[in-house]
Amino acid sequence: MSDYDVDLFVIGGGSGGVRAARIAAQHGARVMLAEEYRVGGTCVIRGCVPKKLLVYASRFRAEFEDAEGYGWTMPQARFDWPTLIANKDKEIARLEAAYTMTLEKAGVTIVKSRATVADAHTVRLNNGKSVRAAYILVATGGAPTYGDAIAGVEHAISSNEAFHLPELPPHLLIQGGGYIALEFAGIFAGLGAQVTVIYRGDNILRGFDDDVRRHVRMDMEKRGIKVVTGCKVASIERINGRFLAEFSNGFRHTADCVMFATGRAPNVANLGLKEAGVEIAKNGAVVVDEYSRTRVPSIYAIGDVTNHINLTPVAIREGHAFADTVFGGKPTMVDHTNVPTAVFSDPEVGAVGLTEAQARASLAQTDIYRAMFKPLKATLSGRDTTVLLKLVVDGLTDRVVGCHIVGEGAAEMVQMVTIAVKMGATKADFDATMALHPTTAEELVTLRTKSASYAREAAE
Ligand SMILES: Cc1cc2nc3c(=O)[nH]c(=O)nc-3n(C[C@H](O)[C@H](O)[C@H](O)COP(=O)(O)OP(=O)(O)OC[C@H]3O[C@@H](n4cnc5c(N)ncnc54)[C@H](O)[C@@H]3O)c2cc1C
């Protein structure tokens, strides 16, 4: 590899790129990494981490309200958006510095520049310099898209800008029905804004279990978030500092901020990948094999740019597996089955494995176990909310093939259930597990009867 300037050039310092660079360097490779914006990537700078900090901030409202039923008298709580954003920015800067230090300590050379692929072994930097590399790893992630080109789309912000608004908008219109749209709806509503979510499909959270979709919508509406489905924003006009959105059904809606969370696309534009011989799918994703290798043997790609499962832990695993495969002498494939996922909306969702519809379409027999109940905490607080727990079971093998939870702590619960699902636990194993009382999660091991219809339970 000594004919090259480096053994590995990583394009993109996000979740996947950072892990791949560090592990490759620890395996003894000479590694250079280019980052055009901030080290840490989407997750750390404008994704998972700052989002979760804002989610925490937004949930204090309900805690303050609930406290009264438990005997607390609360002085009028006041919220200050600039304080939250400044504190969040401080933490993100700390994390960025920590990521940078970890890479440098591992011996990775960081270049703050955009990088493009010139050929199978050459990367070009902004300053015109070229670097020759034995291997190139594309870890450029994805970026928000705005859907159809509509009049006034330039007035809409994406999640990127939502993290840096100068003030909390009193009225927000959020277009999109996926996890980013719903998480920001919960954040802004919790912080005191009036929020309307508009989504063109028949219900929010496409791809999630249908019971989860119904339950989240019902609970969000109870919390005062307006959800409009089967409709989309047709145009946006700026009038006196506010925004007038016209919907496809002719309705008009005025808001102080319009946010689009209508999807994300792989970052491949002008990267030089096609010209170098790398195959790009119709949706813009870099096509790779099970070892993350593209059609060009010296070029690999991981994370969101491959558009497999766009989650941080997946990008990290793929980065680690790539480094072990190419520089560690240990060919490693990533297992993409049973990846748990969460929506940090209000109410929160945690899910792993098959939805009921997927199970019914692929298994000879599907059994459903489901519970919907008022959580203990909501008794004294008087909050009108219910938790949904659902197990999807293969009726022939008794294996639990899916778990779906809506309610407080759903993500934490599903992370643990994922271990059991991954190990192939059966419903009998769940039944044999002693309950931990009083918890919400204990219902997972006390579900004895196959489920009645959701509609009937919801009405009770
Ligand atoms: C609002 C939001 C919330 C999210 N919440 C969660 C969550 O709760 N849990 C979860 O698991 N996932 C979440 N995600 C998804 C998660 O952030 C991504 O899956 C993850 O960051 C992907 O990692 P990556 O390494 O593929 O790309 P990224 O982290 O996007 O990193 C790519 C990096 O490459 C850089 N780059 C791009 N092109 C170039 C170039 N030509 N030259 C140099 N640098 C370049 C970019 O600046 C970026 O830093 C969220 C995403 C968003 C937007």
Ligand 1: nearest atom to the Cα of 310: 19
Which residue's CA is the closest to the ligand 1 atom numbered 15? 311
Catalytic residue of the set 27, 155, 404, 437: 437
Pocket test for ligand 1, best of 42, 103, 352 (most atoms within 8 A of CB): 42
244-298: pLDDT as tens digits: 999 999 999 999 999 999 999 999 999 999 999 999 999 999 999 999 999 999 9
The predicted structure's pLDDT at residue 147? 85
Ligand 1: nearest atom to the Cα of 12: 34
- Cis, bond preceding 438 (omega within 30 deg of 0): yes
Arithmetic mean of pLDDT, 404-430: 98
Is 437 one of the catalytic residues? yes
State phi, psi for 95 to the nearest 5 degrees: -65, -40
Which residue's CA is the closest to the ligand 1 atom numbered 19? 311
Q: Which residues line ligand 1 (CB under 6 A)?
A: 11-17, 34-37, 41-43, 47-48, 51, 114-116, 139-141, 159, 180, 267, 271, 303-305, 310-313, 315
Alpha carbon distance 273, 262 (integer Å): 26
The pair of structure tokens assigned to 416 is: 């643990």
Contact predicate 392/403, CB 8 Å? yes
The predicted structure's pLDDT at residue 1? 52
Contact predicate 307/328, CB 8 Å? no
Ligand 1: nearest atom to the Cα of 115: 42
Q: How far is the CA of 133 from the centre of ligand 1 (A)?
A: 24
Element holding 143 (H helix, E strand): strand 142-144
Q: How far is the CA of 13 from the centre of ligand 1 (A)?
A: 9
Under DSSP, is residue 445 helix (H, G, I), strand (E, B) or coil?
helix
Q: At what angle do helices 210-222 and 179-190 cross, to 10 degrees?
A: 20
Residue 450 has pLDDT above 80, yes or no: yes
pTM of the predicted protein model = 0.96
The predicted structure's pLDDT at residue 430? 98
Going from the C-alpha of 312 to that of each of 1, 23, 56, the distances in angstroms are 31, 17, 19
Task: Show Cβ contacts of residue 133 under 8 Å, excluding neighbours closer than 6 positions.
Answer: 4, 5, 6, 7, 8, 9, 32, 121, 122, 123, 298
Ligand 1: nearest atom to the Cα of 52: 8
Which residue's CA is the closest to the ligand 1 atom numbered 8? 48
Alpha carbon distance 21, 5 (integer Å): 15
Residue 454 has pLDDT above 70, yes or no: no
The predicted structure's pLDDT at residue 350? 98
| 51: number of Cβ within 10 Å | 21
The predicted structure's pLDDT at residue 453? 55
